[in-house]
């Protein structure tokens, strides 16, 4: 009897061991749940080319990256003259009741629009996100409806917003691709306000607040844009960096900690810039995704043992509390086997948005690259057509005999100057159809100019811009 009991106990123990050990080739349950939160994308900010994508269109919780869309609508209200930077916002009881991270103003206290913007960009203040939403639209509900409509307008087809601050709500979803589109849109449409996202420190009421984006403090050209965290989302980051005149946008969602998320973003960014550098040197890299995969990024669990930042561990702090320094390490294992990959794609946007290659309607990881002529046409709101079917703007300007110019801005970043030039051309297409768009360099500044205009055309165009609160200057011939 005792021997029988012992045999039964041994069998039970063996069965327990078999159940505890994962089957070879099947990721353990923790790894499977971890991968459900991970997503990433790297794009060229100027061309919109997707250099790398992994789960880029899968639904994810944006957390506080939501505040980029909140600020997009605030910047739009500023540009339209609906609000001003020195307006004072009276904090409502609802705004004051938001959980951390927050600025902590009591109901009835006031803050300027400028300081409220900085509190979102630097501190990720949930209370001020609601206060700004109420100031712009009267209520957060009305404001978030506008957020969703704007997302659709920008081509963010995976996104829906129901809170202005990104606090947990199962209805609020986005994707890595959509957040890259949003990041690109805010620097394109409002270059005069983009500097808010790059502010490392902010002083308010005698206290210094440090930006939650740790990469800003490490240099390497990073100048924005926003972090995010909830238990459901994991550690998120949309970042942008400029090196050697090229700007990349990288979005990573579902990191295990701020430290590993930052490290992963930095690695993806560096790999993207390596692609750009090698291409500039003449090396043929038609599909950047392949280049990333050869370095161990973006390989499915079915074909390799590469694993991304797992979201297990201890309960993390609340969003934006400044605890961005957990010492965790993301490990990557095994090199991928070579596999055929699709042609490079462009981040898509709605036809009204000129900065994305709307001609490509394939999925994010499929499609064909656009040639330069087609892309230029699309960036300016036209349809793709052969270059020989239409004269260039320079030829049209020469034929018109105009030598006057209109300057619409001067910037320290060439990419920003070009993006702003294209945006003005889109908004005021009727005034600049025959003009040539040029970015001219002088004393470290990049001047956005439309050239080849007659005096009357230049003055009329500048007058139209001034009516819409767009700064401009008429430049007479030398």
Catalytic residue numbers read 64, 67, 124
Q: Does the N-terminal peptide bond of residue 101 adopt cis geometry, omega within 30 degrees of 0?
A: yes
Q: Return the number of other C-beta atoms located less than 10 Å from residue 19's C-beta.
A: 8
Structure tokens at 349: 């946007």
Contact 300, 274 (CB under 8 A): no
Q: What is the dihedral of CA 63, 67, 69, 75, to 10 degrees?
A: 180
What the block records as the tokens of 188 is 């394109």
Max Cα–Cα distance, the chain, nearest Å: 109
CB neighbours (10 Å) of residue 391? 13
Q: Report cis status (omega within 30 of 0) of the bond before 136.
A: no
Give burial (CB, 10 Å; 0-12/13-18/19+) of 352: exposed
Tokens 């829906």 sit at which residue? 160
Encode burial over 439-463: b for 16+ CB neighbours within 10 A, e otherwise: beeeeeebbbbbbbbeeebbebbbe
To which residue do tokens 């086997």 refer? 337
């Amino acid at each position: 009897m005792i021997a029988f009991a012992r045999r039964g106990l041994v069998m039970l123990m063996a069965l327990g061991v078999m159940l505890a050990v994962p089957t070879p080739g099947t990721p353990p349950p923790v790894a499977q749940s971890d991968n459900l939160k991970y997503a990433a994308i790297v794009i060229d900010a100027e061309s919109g080319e997707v250099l790398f994508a992994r789960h880029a269109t899968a639904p994810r919780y944006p957390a506080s990256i939501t505040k980029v869309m909140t600020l997009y609508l605030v910047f739009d209200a500023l540009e339209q003259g609906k609000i001003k930077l020195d307006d004072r916002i009276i904090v409502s009881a609802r705004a004051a009741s938001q959980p951390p991270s927050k600025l902590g103003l009591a109901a009835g206290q006031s803050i300027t629009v400028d300081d409220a913007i900085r509190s979102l960009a630097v501190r990720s203040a949930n209370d001020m996100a609601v206060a700004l939403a109420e100031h712009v639209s009267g209520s957060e509900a009305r404001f978030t409806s506008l957020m969703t409509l704007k997302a659709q307008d920008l081509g963010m087809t995976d996104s829906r917003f129901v809170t202005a601050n990104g606090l947990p709500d199962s209805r609020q979803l986005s994707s890595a691709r959509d957040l890259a589109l949003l990041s690109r849109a805010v620097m394109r449409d409002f270059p005069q306000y983009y500097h808010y996202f790059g502010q490392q420190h902010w002083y308010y009421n005698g206290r210094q607040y440090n930006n939650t984006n740790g990469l800003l403090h490490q240099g390497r050209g990073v100048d924005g844009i926003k972090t995010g965290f909830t238990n459901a989302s994991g550690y998120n980051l949309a970042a942008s960096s400029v090196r050697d005149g090229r700007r990349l946008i990288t979005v990573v969602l579902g990191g295990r900690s701020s430290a590993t998320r930052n490290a992963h973003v930095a690695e993806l960014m560096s790999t993207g810039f390596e692609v750009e550098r090698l291409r500039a040197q003449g090396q043929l890299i038609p599909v950047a995704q392949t280049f990333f995969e050869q370095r161990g990024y973006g390989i499915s669990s079915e074909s390799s043992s590469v694993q991304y930042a797992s979201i297990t561990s201890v309960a993390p702090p609340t969003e934006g509390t400044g605890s961005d320094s957990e010492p965790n390490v993301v490990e990557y294992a095994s090199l991928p086997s070579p596999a055929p990959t699709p042609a490079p794609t462009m981040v898509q946007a709605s036809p009204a948005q000129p900065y994305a290659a709307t001609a490509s309607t394939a999925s994010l990881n499929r499609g064909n690259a656009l040639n330069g002529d087609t892309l230029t046409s699309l960036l300016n709101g036209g349809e793709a057509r052969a270059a020989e079917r239409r004269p260039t703007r320079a030829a049209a300007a020469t034929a018109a005999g105009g030598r006057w110019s209109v300057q619409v801005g001067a910037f320290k970043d060439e990419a920003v100057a070009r993006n702003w030039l294209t945006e003005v051309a889109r908004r005021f297409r009727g005034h600049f159809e025959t003009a040539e768009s040029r970015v001219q360099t002088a004393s470290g500044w990049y001047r956005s100019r439309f050239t080849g205009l007659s005096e009357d055309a230049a003055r009329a165009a500048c007058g139209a811009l001034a009516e819409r609160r767009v700064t401009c200057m008429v430049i007479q011939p030398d």
